[in-house]
Amino acid sequence: MAKTKGASKKQQNRGIDFKKIKRKIGRKLPPPKNTTNTEIKSKAIVLPEQSVVSEKAGLALSKKGLTLKELLQHTSHHNAKVRKDALMGMKDLFLKHPEEIKLHRYAVIEKLRERISDDDKTVRENLYQLLKSVILPGCKEDNQGPVISLMMAYIFNAMTHLAIDIRLMAFKFFDLAVEYHPPLFFSYAEKILQNYEDILQKNQFYLEDRGKLKNVLAGLVRCLLLLPSSKEVNLLAKNVPEQKILQAFEHDVPTVFAEYSVIIKKLKNLVPVLVNCFQDFLPVIHDSLDAQSFDCMLNILRSLDHAVKFFIHGVQQGHPEPPPVDQSFSSVLLKKLLVVFPLSPMHHLSEKDDDRYVILNIAITEIFMHLSEWICPPAVLFEKFLTFVEYVLVEKSCSNVRSGKAVREKQISTLIPFIPKLVSRVIGNWKNRLLQAFTKTFQDCSPESSVKLACLAAIEEIIISQEDLLCTDVNDLGQFDYKITLVRELPKLLVLLGNRHPSSSKVVLHLLLRLGQRSLLYDDMQGLLKEFYSTDQDKGNICYGPFLRLARDSQELSICCLYYLSQLDSTLLKSIASCCLCQELDPFMLFRIIEVLHSTYKAGHIQISDHINFLITLASRYKVCPENIFPATDRDKKTSNHATFKSLTSVVCSCLSQMGDNSLVFVILEKVILEQISLKPPLDNSCAMLRILIALDSKPTRLSEQSICTLSNVLSAYLIDVAHCVPEYNDESTIHGQTRRYYLLPSFILFDRSYKLLNLVLNVMGSLINGRSSSLLSGDHIRYAKGNSSIINAIVSVLLWMQRDAKVQQILYLYKEEIDHISRSICSLQSSEEINVPIEERHIIST
């Protein structure tokens, strides 16, 4: 019993862990004690407007609704992502509102320049892209010097940063600044060259990131490209436009010379660094030359080349202090570069890799060629380069498999400018070998290629500038053969170029003119020149060459070249005449052609018969449009060339009058003119022939009896056509009266010089009236007046015009019988019933 009592007491002292709650059936369970109340209670707040929105009204906003001020503030945020987004937002804002750039460019640059040394790579890249694609192009029309100068202190500060990535990126920013404001380099030349020297001496990043090194070297090339060289000075002296490079800043040239000693000193320190940098890449040559290593090596060689050209420029310009560099320095530089020349792989490479090696070897060759102007290289070394040049010219110009067209042309074009100097320096067999390789390259390359243009410049220097050098050895005919071959290729090139490449055609024509001025054009070139102007096709069609479609200055050059041919043949003159007769030819050029050819005739380069035929062809076959003397519509008035043809007639008459003794020229022309008029040309051309005739004739006339008889038939028909085409007006001061006077005057002058001609003309008119109806309607030489009434009315008008002319009126008194005969014939025609004249025409005649 005692045991049971103790146990129950123990159970009463223990606590209860979980209290069980009894729930009645049908009652709703209460919610748990840890349940979260999700019920939301709110009260509406009504505001008249939001102050933030009102403050931004009318301001330029980004996609996220931020203003320029807010975006600039975000660029200093501690979070890199916020800084990056701010730059992206500014790009979006400036693209939508480009005027914001011009309004706030200084404030924007002052804030953004702080990010040049930003610790985050993406922020720096976005800043670079923002400046390159939006901000600097947006300020291009303004003076960018003050804008870019705001960044320079921060760029130079970044160039000395401890982080290598920031330092490399700083050179990229500087390259961008020089691109948009080239004179900037001259203001900071000493500091920037020192920074390039420092960064290139840091070898730790060469093999880590060659892409960044490539950017640094590309910026260095851009800077050194701004330095003056003898090439640019020569181009300015020749007044030849240079290609689009950043060098033509005349107002900054004194700055370069003022800082000449500083630049020379820095370059002397920089060149060995570049050479060592290049040698560090040589192990890559024997394995595989990747794209980034190739770009780095090429930029190093280009930098060295620009530095050498600047050294030579200093020597040529005579800068005494300090001396640019001594010959020992040049010899060391040459030996270091040429110890591995030519660069070649250890095993067979792909086509692309092979091109890379050739390009690098060409770059070394350029440096050698420039240094060889300064020092005299050993003969063995010189021949080594000659062999390489010959290989590039011959093998690469003929290769269609191992090299793409664009790459091959670029390789050859680089070496072509050195050919003239090499030809002038080498002796013996090498001179002919180089000329042979050069000639083959010129013949094989396509007409529109850059190689062709480079060859044209070289031809001018080889043939013209070095003409005496080619003539030193009279026994070596091979050099003369190459010269003749090159000159004869030029007309072929003109025809092949056509009008698709006008700039190239102009270069060829300019070269031909220079050759002509040195008496280096050959008469056998005229066959190809004829194709340049025009050629005759089947059935009398004419195929016009490129001449008509070239610009006026090119046409002028081509015409001036004709003056220097020793003897122009008739076929070439015929080809030129066809161009003169084409309506597409500018009237200015028409008269210019006549002027040059007449000067050529005076110089004895054209036969008198050929020159006369050329001038008569123009006067007799020039098509006057519209053929009606008085255009019927406004469109015809605008397109009319009557005035041009009148001027042409005057010029032809003037040229023929200056050809020598008029009596001798008249003997040659008399038969030709009568033949042309007998062909029933249009009225204007007939008038031109008559004016030429009276320009060379005299009083009394030089016309033969046979010519007078022939001319009487032609002249009567001409006068009838004039009367038919020119309306009758009594007032001579009107345009109709002046026009009639222009067409009648040649005939009246001939009548004054030959009374017999007037008599025969009156007889022909009388016979036309008295003739049968069939002959009256068909008048052999009458072109415009058709029908009895038209012809008779025209004859009456002609007689009335003769009566109004004082001189002709006096002559008519001598032939009163012939005039009475014409009057009686007209009256007889009115009353005659034998002749079949319609009633309408009888009425017209009677009136």
What distance in Å separates the CA atoms of residue 388 and residue 386, rounded to the nearest whole number? Answer: 5
Lowest mean pLDDT among 224-228, 306-310, 716-720, 789-793: 789-793
Which pLDDT does position 572 carry in this prediction?
A: 93
Nearest to 173 by CA among 118, 98, 105: 118
Kindly write down the DSSP assignment for every residue of 534-593, as one continuous string: EEE-GGG-EEE-GGGGS-HHHHHHHHHHHTTSS---HHHHHHHHHHHTSTTS-HHHHHHH
The encoded tokens of residue 481 equal: 């053969």
| pLDDT one-digit tens code per residue, 674-696 | 988 888 888 899 999 999 999 99
Could you tell me how far CA 656 lies from the centroid of its own chain? 39
Q: Are 693 and 669 in contact (CB under 8 A)?
A: yes
Which pLDDT does position 580 carry in this prediction?
A: 93
Which pLDDT does position 68 carry in this prediction?
A: 84
Confidence of residue 244 (pLDDT cuts 50, 70, 90): very low
Average pLDDT over residues 114-122: 90
The encoded tokens of residue 162 equal: 């401890």
Average pLDDT over residues 525-544: 85
In this structure, what DSSP letter does residue 426 have? -
Which pLDDT does position 241 carry in this prediction?
A: 40
Q: Are 222 and 175 in contact (CB under 8 A)?
A: yes
What distance in Å separates the CA atoms of residue 113 and residue 136, rounded to the nearest whole number? Answer: 13
- Please say if the pLDDT value at position 732 is more than 70: no
- Buried b / exposed e over 100-135, threshold 16 CB at 10 Å, is bbeebbeebbebbbebbbbeeeebbebbbebbeebb
Higher pLDDT, 796 or 747: 747
Q: Assign 661 to helix, strand or coil.
A: coil
Lowest mean pLDDT among 73-82, 456-465, 477-486, 610-619: 477-486
Which pLDDT does position 662 carry in this prediction?
A: 86
Nearest to 416 by CA among 474, 458, 448: 458
What distance in Å separates the CA atoms of residue 397 and residue 409, rounded to the nearest whole number? Answer: 8
- Please say if the pLDDT value at position 812 is more than 70: yes
Nearest to 297 by CA among 206, 406, 203, 384: 206
Higher pLDDT, 120 or 376: 120
E strand or H helix at 767: helix 755-770
- Please say if the pLDDT value at position 492 is more than 60: yes
Confidence of residue 828 (pLDDT cuts 50, 70, 90): confident
Q: Which are the contacts of 412, defined by CB distance < 8 A and separation ≥ 6?
A: 392, 393, 396, 397, 441, 445, 451, 454
In whole angstroms, how large is the CA radius of gyration of the chain?
A: 46
Which pLDDT does position 558 carry in this prediction?
A: 93
**Count of residues making up the chain:** 847
- Please say if the pLDDT value at position 414 is more than 90: no
Which pLDDT does position 428 carry in this prediction?
A: 77
| pLDDT one-digit tens code per residue, 149-193 | 888 889 889 888 888 888 888 888 888 888 888 888 888 888 888
Which pLDDT does position 349 carry in this prediction?
A: 64
Nearest to 91 by CA among 106, 107, 108, 79: 108
Count of CB atoms within 10 A of residue 776's CB?
20
Q: Are 269 and 197 in contact (CB under 8 A)?
A: yes
What distance in Å separates the CA atoms of residue 687 and residue 707, rounded to the nearest whole number? Answer: 17
What distance in Å separates the CA atoms of residue 515 and residue 529, rounded to the nearest whole number? Answer: 15
| pLDDT one-digit tens code per residue, 586-632 | 999 999 999 999 999 999 999 999 999 999 999 999 998 876 666 55
- What are residue 542's DSSP bridge partners? 536
**Most confident of the following: 31-35, 91-95, 398-402:** 91-95
Percent helix, strand and coil across the chain, each rounded to 5?
70, 0, 30
- Please say if the pLDDT value at position 574 is more than 90: yes
- Which amino acid is located at 130 in the chain? L
Which pLDDT does position 1 carry in this prediction?
A: 44
In this structure, what DSSP letter does residue 504 have? H
CA triple 466-468-473, angle to 5 deg: 115
Handedness of CA 626, 632, 634, 637 (dihedral sign): positive
- Please say if the pLDDT value at position 124 is more than 70: yes
Which pLDDT does position 233 carry in this prediction?
A: 40
Confidence of residue 649 (pLDDT cuts 50, 70, 90): very high
Percent of the chain beyond pLDDT 70? 77
What distance in Å separates the CA atoms of residue 710 and residue 497, rounded to the nearest whole number? Answer: 50
Average pLDDT over residues 65-73: 85
What are the angstrom distances between the C-alpha of 18 and each of 21, 25, 170, 326, 793? 9, 21, 74, 105, 145
Q: Are 707 and 759 in contact (CB under 8 A)?
A: no
Q: Are 375 and 330 in contact (CB under 8 A)?
A: yes
Which pLDDT does position 70 carry in this prediction?
A: 87
Which pLDDT does position 605 carry in this prediction?
A: 92
What distance in Å separates the CA atoms of residue 72 and residue 70, rounded to the nearest whole number? Answer: 5
Higher pLDDT, 779 or 278: 278
**Phi, psi for 783 (deg, rounded to 5):** -100, -35
Higher pLDDT, 831 or 504: 504
Nearest to 131 by CA among 91, 95, 184: 91
- Please say if the pLDDT value at position 240 is more than 50: no
The encoded tokens of residue 149 equal: 């100068």
- Please say if the pLDDT value at position 807 is more than 60: yes
Which pLDDT does position 646 carry in this prediction?
A: 93
Helices 755-770, 816-831: inter-axial angle, 10-degree rounding: 10
Confidence of residue 775 (pLDDT cuts 50, 70, 90): very low
Q: Name the one residue in this structure whose structure tokens are 């040195």.
A: 518
Which pLDDT does position 219 carry in this prediction?
A: 86
Compute the mean pLDDT over every residue in the chain, rounded to the nearest whole number. Answer: 79
Handedness of CA 473, 477, 480, 486 (dihedral sign): negative
Q: How far apart are the first and last CA of the chain?
A: 178
What are the angstrom distances between the C-alpha of 356 and each of 353, 387, 461? 5, 19, 30
| pLDDT one-digit tens code per residue, 290-329 | 888 888 889 999 998 888 888 877 766 655 444 445 555 6
Q: In the chain, what's the furthest Cα-to-Cα distance?
A: 193
- Please say if the pLDDT value at position 383 is more than 80: yes
Which pLDDT does position 776 carry in this prediction?
A: 39
Parallel, antiparallel or unpaired: strands 542-544 and 534-536: antiparallel
What are the angstrom distances between the C-alpha of 775 and each of 431, 767, 786, 823, 838? 79, 10, 11, 19, 16
Average pLDDT over residues 500-505: 90
**Most confident of the following: 344-348, 517-521, 788-792, 825-829:** 517-521
Nearest to 628 by CA among 722, 719, 720, 741: 722
| pLDDT one-digit tens code per residue, 318-377 | 554 444 455 556 666 667 766 777 877 766 666 677 778 888 888 888 888 888 877 777
Q: Assign 458 to helix, strand or coil.
A: helix
Which pLDDT does position 630 carry in this prediction?
A: 63
Percent of the chain beyond pLDDT 90? 18
- What are residue 536's DSSP bridge partners? 542
What distance in Å separates the CA atoms of residue 813 and residue 131, rounded to the nearest whole number? Answer: 96
Count of CB atoms within 10 A of residue 246's CB?
16
In this structure, what DSSP letter does residue 22 have? P
Nearest to 546 by CA among 609, 494, 617: 494
The encoded tokens of residue 795 equal: 């004859």
Average pLDDT over residues 64-81: 86
In this structure, what DSSP letter does residue 318 have? T
What distance in Å separates the CA atoms of residue 635 and residue 236, rounded to the nearest whole number? Answer: 48
Which pLDDT does position 783 carry in this prediction?
A: 66
Which pLDDT does position 771 carry in this prediction?
A: 62
**Phi, psi for 140 (deg, rounded to 5):** -65, -35
In this structure, what DSSP letter does residue 437 have? H
Confidence of residue 820 (pLDDT cuts 50, 70, 90): confident
